[in-house]
Structures are given as structure tokens and as C-alpha cells.
Chain A
Amino acid sequence: MKRNFTALSLAAGLLLAGASFSGCKSNALSPSVNAAGGKPAGPMKEEPNVAFKDLHGASISLASFKGKVVLVNFWATYCEPCRTEIPWLIEFQRKYASKGFSVLGVGMDDEGAKVVQPWVQTTTFDVNGQPTLMDYPIVIGDDDIADKFGGLWAYPTSFLVTRDGKIAKKYIGMIDKEDLEKQIQALLGS
């Protein structure tokens, strides 16, 4: 009886310990959680079938980015944490575009392009000491688009998408720059 109980405790403990260590491991293609308490992406899902409008009203589909690693970044002009990470995204766009990476910024202000366009055209960010505009593709989002990504409750929220259109990671809140860069490098290399 005592032996059975001992064996059962050992098995349960090892099972839970294994789960905890797999959650701690940093793996480029495993779902993970950012410091702000974002949710794991779970087993890799297909990116949603969604078309956006850019700042001039032209249609851009997410599918048109297939073949590239894409960071779909939902942000808003009133969101200070979004503004903190934008220069990092500009940096990654410049550094990795030639290797097949792109940021896709989705502006979520309720007023849409009316507010986002002038803001994007006039707001500069310090990128390596230089005042720089957002120079990656910017599109306009809305509630329907948010629903297609499973619903968004906060900004920034970002989805890292593989070359074949799978969502590798989801970040809720400001990204960890170092972690994101490692994930981008891993996906570009794979």
C-alpha cells in the first residue's frame, strides 16, 4: 500500500514537474508568454484569412505576406507602450527585411485612417540616434479584424507568423525586444 502510494506520488510529481520545465524552456517555435502576462498561442494555428485597408484605402491581404516571417502588430496612437516598442519594430524591419521579414502595423484607433494617417506621417521615433518615421506597412484594423484574431483586449498585441502562415507566438502587451529578435532569427533561419 505504502509502495503504491510512493510510486503514485512520484509519477504525479514528475508529470507536473515536466509540464513546468517545458513551460520554462525557450523554444523558437513553442508558444510562450511575454512579461506582461500574454497568453500562449497554443499549438500553431493558421493565420486568419483577413484583408486590411492601408492608409490610402487600398486592400492588403495577410495571405499576400506568405513566404515571409511577419509580425502583425496591433497598436493605437493613444497607447504609450505601443510607442515604446515602435522604434524596435522599425529596427527589425530594416535589419531583417532582406531576409524575408516584415512588420505589419495594424492601427486600431476607432477613428481609423483619419487619426492614424496624420500621426504616422508626422510622428518620429529615435532609431539608432536618428528621428525616423514608421517605415513598415501600416493598415487599419477594426472589431471584425480583431475577432478574426481571436479578439483583442489590449494594445499592443502582436502575432509572429511563420513563412507558411502559421501563428508561432502571441504577445499581449509591450514585447520583450531581445526575446522577439531571437524568435525572428529562429524563424528566418528555419
Chain B
Amino acid sequence: MRKRVQIGCMLAGVFGLFGWASITHAQNPPQPATSVVKPHAYVSLEPVPRGKEFEVAVVVDIARGYHVNSHKPTDPYLIPTTVSPQLSAGLQALDTIYPKGKLEKFAFSPDTPLDVYSGSVTIFLRLSAQANTALGSSTIPITLRYQACNDSACLPPVKVPVDVKLEVGTAGAKARNMHPEIFAKASENSAK
């Protein structure tokens, strides 16, 4: 009798723990749209000599389980991922190179794949510092716009700042190549 009661207690405890886990799982806190993507920006040269071209890399880390539309989504109503720099006098935008997206199917769209980014992607800005660019330290304000979804729900589109610090030197100044591990990818998997 005592043994049966003891086994009964153990089973009740096991079921109870299982139930507690179900209730907890059902109450996952929501994630705001700005928290599922972490962007960082880097400059390819330090300093950037006047008259020289350089690059800015915007590395976009997307939380597991989420995706954002690529720069060229499959439908005109879907919101593309874009990067917009605010350039001060002397700085000129030459090109923005977006990575290719991946065509993926999701539970909510099993027949129609969507062109998306997931994991980590890098967007490159090709810029030049003209002769009249202000010397010294400054910041390039950059805005990253994206709209993220998981496999059953979508977060509203957001614009987040990804500012990058820049050092401009005189024409002919000796410049160091910065973050070669990032900028080596500039020619890989690019899409316009």
C-alpha cells in the first residue's frame, strides 16, 4: 500500500511538472520589432583620405526563427529591407549593394516561396570622400528599414538608426584597411 501511494505521488508530481511547463510555454513574452534585428555598421578605411572611395558595411543579425523581406521581395505590398545614409557635404553615395535573398517557404505560405533574409546578412554602401569633405571625426547617420516575421505572425515595419563613425584625413593620408573579414565579402553574393 505504501509503495502504491509513493508511486502515485511520483506520477502526480511528474504530470504536475509537465503541466507547469505547458503553462509557462504558452506565455512566451512578445518581442518588439526592434529587438529581433541587431545591426552594426563598419567603415573600410581609417582614416578615409579626401578624394578616396571607401565602403560602409551594415551587418544585420536576425534573431533565430525570424526573417525579413529581402531588398527585392516577391510581392509589391511586401516591405523591402533598405539602408539609407544621410551624407554630409563632400560625401557621395556611389552604390548600395544588397545581398541576394533566399527563396523560402513558410507554414503560412507553403506553395509560394518568399525572398527573405535570415541569420546574418551584410549590406555594403560604396561612398567617396570628395576634396571638400570636412576633416576629422564625424558620424554618418544610417537608417535601416525592415519588416520581420516568424512562421506564423508578422511584426510591424520599423526604421532603426545604425550610425557609423568616420575619420576623414587629408588627400594622400596613409589609410589602414579595417575589418578585412567583413569587407572581403563585398564582392560575394551581391544583388542589385
Contacts and interface: CB of A to CB of B under 8 A. Distances in A.
A33 interface: yes
A105 interface: no
A84 B106 CA distance: 11
A153 B108 contact: no
B16 A16 contact: yes
B153 A174 contact: yes
B180 to A, nearest CB: 37
Nearest to B69: A78
A78 B79 CA distance: 6
Nearest to B20: A16
Scoring A23, A81, A84, A174 by chain B CB atoms within 10 A of each residue's CB, the highest score goes to A81
Interface in A11-36: 12-21, 23-24, 33, 35-36
A40 B32 CA distance: 19
A9 B17 CA distance: 12
A36 B107 CA distance: 11
Interface residues on B, range: 35 or more
Scoring A20, A76, A119 by chain B CB atoms within 10 A of each residue's CB, the highest score goes to A20
Contacts of B78: 78, 80
Contacts of B23: 19-20, 23
A81 B157 CA distance: 15
Interface residues of A, number: 40
A40 B23 CA distance: 10
B91 interface: no
Contact of B108 (A10, A13, A80): A80
Given A19-B23, A79-B149, A81-B108, A10 B8 contact: yes
B155 interface: yes
Interface string A107-131: 0101000000001000000000000
A37 interface: yes
A101 interface: no
Interface string A68-91: 000000001111111010000000
Interface string B17-61: 111101101111011110000000000000000000000000000
A10 B5 contact: yes
Interface of B: 5-6, 8-9, 11-20, 22-23, 25-28, 30-33, 77-79, 106-109, 114, 147, 149-157
Interface of A: 6, 9-10, 12-21, 23-24, 33, 35-37, 39-40, 76-82, 84, 108, 110, 119, 153-157, 172-174
